[in-house]
Every structure is written in C-alpha cells, then in structure tokens.
Amino acid sequence: MTAPWWREGVLYQVYLRSFADADGDGTGDLRGLAGKLEYLAWLGVDGIWLTPIMPSPGADWGYDVSDYLDVDPAFGTLADLDELVVAAGERGIRVLLDLVPNHTSDCHPWFLAARSGRDSPLRDRYVWAAPGPDGSPPSNWLSAFGGPAWTLDEASGEYYLHTFLPQQPDLNWRSEDVRAAFDEILRFWFARGVAGFRVDVPHFLLKDDELRDNPPAEEADPWWVHRHGQRLVWNFMRPELHDVLRRWRVLADEQEPGRLLVGEGVIEGHQVAAFYGGGDDELHMTFHLGLANAPFEVVALRDVVEEAERLLPPGSQPLWTLGNHDIARYGSRWCEGDPRRIRLALLLLFGLRGTPTLYYGDELGLGDVPVPAESARDVEGRDPQRTPMPWSQEPGAGFTAADVDPWLPVGDRAGLTVAEQRGDPDSALALTRDLVALRRRSVDLRAGAYERLPASGGVWAWRRGGRTIVALNLSGEEDVVDDVAGTVALATDRERDGERVDGRLALAPWQGAVVIR
C-alpha cells in the first residue's frame, strides 16, 4: 500500500503577503506565488501551506476572517487560486489553506447579524453571556493578546467572548449551526482541489458551558502558563473538541483523494498528542512547536523529540518545524547568524522521524529583520519574522518592483538571497535541497524509526531505520561518536560528503553528518 504523500513529503509554509508580489502593490499575492512554483519544485517540496487568504479587515493579518468562501482582493481572486492549485499540481505540489475556526472578524456577516439583537437567529453562533452582578465580565478568562477575553456589547447589555482581539469574536462550537456551516466551508474548498488545511488554534475551539473561572498559575507550572497568570482549564483543550475533529476527519477522508488536516501545536507534548485521537480518527498531524520553543542544546531538544516518540499514538506521524510566522526565525533565535549552526539546524529538521516543514526563507538561513517603529504593522510585534522573501540583491529584492515600497522592509540580506545561494554549492539553500533529495532517496529517513544512540557531551546521535545514523555536535568543542561505520551521505561541512567512517565519527564544533552503513 502506498503511503500518503504527506508521510514521505516535505511541507513549505508560505506567508503569502511576503513571498512574491506580482501586481506591484508591495504585497505578495497568489499570482506572485504561482510565478515561484518552479523554485519550489526545484527545492523539492511536496506541499505548500498558505497563511490565510480569505477576506479580512486585517486586524490580525487574515486571522480575522470576514468571508470563509472567497479570496481577499489583496491576494487575488478565486480564479487565481484555482489556477495556482492546477499549476502546483502539475509540478507534484499540493496546496493547503489556513482554516480559522475559533473566531471570525467582527465584520463577518454572521457577527453583524448576531450583534443586531438578542433575538437574532445567528446570536447562538457566538459566545454571549450576561455581566456579573457588579457588571464585571462573566469569567476571569484572558485574551491571548492581553486583558480580559470579554467585551461588553452596549446595545444588548451582554458580553461577547474573544480569545484574541476584540475584533475576533469567538464562535460557539456547541452550536450545531456552526458545525454544519463549517462542513460546507470544508466541502467548498475541497471541491476546488485544495489538498487540506492547517487548522488554527484548535485547542481553543470548545469552552466550558458554565464559563467557570480558571484557577491561578502554580509555581510548578511551565512558563507559558505563568505568562497568563492562570491555568487554562475551562477555555482550553476541552474534551468536547474531539467530536469536532472527528467530524472533520470523516469529511476529509471521504474525499478522493483524501485530504490532509494539520493542527497548530501547543507547548506540552501530551497536548499535541491529544489532537491525533486514536491515531487515525482526528487530525492527521499536529505541529510540535515545543522543538522551536526549546533552546538549541542537546537535552532540551532531545527531550521534546523523545517525549513525542513516547506519547504519539502508534502509527502517528510527528510534524516538525524550526519556526513559523509567530516565532522568531531560527537563524536569529538559535543560530545568531552562524552558518555552522544554521546548517546543523537544517540537518536536525530533516534527520528526525516525521514530516519536516520549512517556513519560507528557512532554506536560506534567514534571521529576523529589525523593523523600525514607524514601519511596524503587527499588534504583537511579529513583523521581524514576516519580512519579504529576498529573491535577489536588486532593488525590491526580486519580491516587488524596484520602485515600490514593500509592505515591510526587506532589510540587509547580503549573502542570503536565492540568487546568490542557488549557485553556491556550499550555501544553506544547496544543503536544504540536498537534504530534501537525500530524504526522498532514503527509506530510512522517510519512514525509519528513531532510536537514540550513546553519545557524550554536546552530541546527539540517533539511528533511523536499519542503516542510517544522524549525529549532531551541538557544542563548541570537538567530539566523537563511537561505533559508527559507513559512508557520510551528507555533512554540514560538505567536504566530508562521501567520507568513509570506520568505527569513530569525529565531529568538529557545530558540525553534523548523516552516515549510511
């Protein structure tokens, strides 16, 4: 039986607004992306995930949807999307969209109707509650962006819930009306050939029907709990959300071919594992962002990976990434621009069991771009990791026309453009392409089990399948891995490719290798 494409493939996240601008307005668009499919096919990716393309006022850059059945004019039209899906498919690339089910925009027709009065037939599509006896919010729940998660609607005298911005009212997933509406939304996009969805914040979908207060954080709680000052108990990871995920899985699996459902990961490994259900009845995969949130050192990274290996249901596929549009780029966060560490991080991503995902520009080793206050756009300060893709050194960076100001500054990308790296066999881009190709050739790297091997100091080594060893030296000291024999298929120092190893693999500081017996 042939494995599903996503088990053996490579995903690539496109922050569409920053990828390629075809119409010259300084903002990336669908036609711009279509013009870069040759590059993505050359790189070897199998699927692209697009950040939200549906119409939105832009309070949270597309994560406040005002119409689930159309394309935002800033990005193009439905016809442009249809053409992209066909053109990508001709190159063996699938297109996934971002689905935002927890909340809509406050400009969505559903919310405008719900807000028109307590007797509105759409009122129940959102979470409304009466004030406390003293006029206070119905519960102590907090917005992820700070402050109460409740806003008073003066006209009706009730509060509405917003886990994020006040412009992003939460949908009521206890309503069958909401569930049926999303059935049709999924079918609409599936019918257009979309290969699946990355599901935004599924952990927040269901809330306690009694709206009980969350308890305060305790000393032993992880950092992300203390950030909010309370344990997310009654508005996070509610057991009922699994009914929704199972319903979507049925819809995805009944398509021909079946469609892929990917979840946004949360911090704790057991929470990530919960989205898989029994392994084959909820989401197909969930990003494990614990890897990207860990420090770049052996114990922390290894613990995240081995926790996933223990907790995921049998047969489940891990989904790894070095970062995304919400996280500082690994080139800055882990590597401080050091080319040795950049190569090591890429080898880590492609050496693990699971499906690797590149955030656009990861293949170049991009770091964050400082964005001055007068150019800042995002309420949460995430602009530095969302700046335009540097295709070339010419004015506009090949992202937009030379005389156009891009929506965010490109920054200084000398040595980090596609044009410079594509012709350099020692570049991060060349290494990434070769890692993709090696993975495609190697059954061990595509599907082999993970087994940790003995190693000392700052070295992390593991076996994949029966013949392949991956070893990383995550330290500034030279080290050795014993009992390794074979040929270096690929090393972060490319001069070592093809080297024979007879028992001891020596690794310079911040060096890694894949050895095949």
254, 426, 477, 482: which is the annotated catalytic residue?
Answer: 254
Question: What does the DSSP 8-state code read for residue 2?
Answer: P
Strand, helix or coil for residue 311: helix
| Rg of the chain (C-alpha set) | 23
How many Cα atoms within 13 Å fall on the side-chain side of residue 192?
23
Beta bridge partners of 319: 287, 355
N-terminal to C-terminal alpha carbon distance within the chain: 27
Residue with structure tokens 């668009």?
29
- Is residue 254 among the annotated active site residues? yes
Cα dihedral sign for 352, 357, 359, 363?
Answer: positive
Residue with structure tokens 């992209």?
84
Please name the amino acid found at residue 147: G
According to DSSP, the β-strands at 11-14 and 47-50 are parallel
Peptide bond into 257 cis (omega under 30): yes
Angstrom distance (rounded) from CA 135 to CA 121: 26
C-alpha closest to that of 361 among 40, 21, 62, 32:
40
Encoding tokens for residue 266? 């949360």
Q: Are 56 and 64 in contact (CB under 8 A)?
A: yes
Counting runs of H as helices and runs of E as strands, what totals does the chain give?
Answer: 16, 17
Angstrom distance (rounded) from CA 352 to CA 85: 29
- Helical residues (DSSP H) of 44-175, grouped into ranges: 78-90, 109-114
- Is residue 297 among the annotated active site residues? no
Taking the mean position of all CA atoms in its chain, how far away is CA 269? 16
Q: How many residues does the chain have?
A: 517
Q: Are 503 and 483 in contact (CB under 8 A)?
A: yes
200, 264, 363, 444: which is the annotated catalytic residue?
Answer: 200
Catalytic positions: 200, 254
